[in-house]
Amino acid sequence: MTERTTWVLVDGENIDATLGSSILGRRPQPDERPRWDRLLSFVSTRWGQPARGLFFLNASAHLPMSFVQALLALGYQPVSLSGSSEEKVVDIAIQRTLRALADHDGDVVLVSHDRDFVEDLGHLADGSRRLGVLAFHEFRSSEYTNLPGLELFDLEYDAEAFDAPLPRVRVIPIEEFDPEVFLQG
C-alpha cells in the first residue's frame, strides 16, 4: 500500500500580487517573498504525509529559468503555461487540475485567495479526502468558508513562510492575545 499524498497547488501570481498590492503596497523584494519550501514542509508535517507541490506559472511572455530551477530544487514541479493575453492561464490550469484530482487519491491544499477555485475545490469535498486553503486570511475569498471540512491556514501565522513579520493588521483570537507584543518598543 502506498502512502497517501497531499497535492499542494500554488497560484504564485495570486500570492505575489496580494503580497505586493494589498500588504506591502509595492513590488515585494526577493527577501520579502514566501519561503516556498516551508509550505511543503508545513503541509507535510500538519497532515502527516508527503506533500507534492505543483507551482503554476504564466510563462506567456517569458520563462523565469532561475525561478524555475529554484522551484525544482525546493521540490516543486513547475507548471509553465502560455496563452493569449485574455486567458487567465494559471487559473484555467488550476481549475483543470482540481477537476482531474477527482479521479485520483490524495488530499489537496490550494495556495490562493482567488474565488475562481471555490466550485472546483467544492466538488472534491465529498468526505473522502482532506482539503485546505493556504493564504492570507484577510484576503482569502469568504466563499471558501462554505465548503464542508475545509481547513484554512494562514501563510504567515500558520505556515511561517516569511523570514520577517509582514505589516498586516491581524484579528487575534483572544486565547492567543499577548499584550507584550504591543507593549514593546
Task: Classify residue 169: in a domain, yes or no.
Answer: yes
Give the pLDDT of residue 185: 65
Assess if residue 56 is contained within a domain: yes
Strand extents, DSSP E, the chain: 6-11, 51-58, 76-81, 107-111, 131-135, 150-154
Cα–Cα distance for residue pair 9/133, rounded to 1 Å: 10
Distance CA 94, CA 71 (A): 17
Model pTM score: 0.91
Whether residue 146 is contained in a domain is answered as: yes
Cα angle: 136, vertex 154, 5; to 5 degrees:
120
CA angle 151, 166, 112 (to 5 degrees): 35
pLDDT value of residue 153: 97
Handedness of CA 59, 35, 17, 138 (dihedral sign): positive
Residue with the bigger pLDDT between 161 and 2: it is: 161
| Residue at grid coordinates 502527516 | 48
Pairing mode, if any, of strands 76-81 and 107-111? Answer: unpaired
Domain-located, residue 58: yes
pLDDT (mean) for 129-153:
96
Render pLDDT for 44-68 as a digit per residue (tens, 0 to 9): 999 999 999 999 999 999 989 999 9
Residue that has been written with the C-alpha cell 483543470 in this structure: 96
Number of domains the chain is built from: 1
Quick check: is 148 in a domain?
yes
The CATH number given to whatever domain includes residue 18 is 3.40.50.1010
pLDDT recorded at residue 169: 80
Assess whether pLDDT exceeds 70 at residue 1: no
Residue 1 covered by a domain:
no
CA R_g for the chain: 17
In a domain, 38, yes or no: yes
Domain of 40, in residue numbers: 6-183
Q: Which grid cell is 152?
A: 484554512
Cα–Cα–Cα angle for 135, 138, 144, nearest 5°? 60
C-alpha cell at 77: 514541479
d(CA 142, CA 16): 19
93 CB neighbour count, 10 Å cutoff: 20
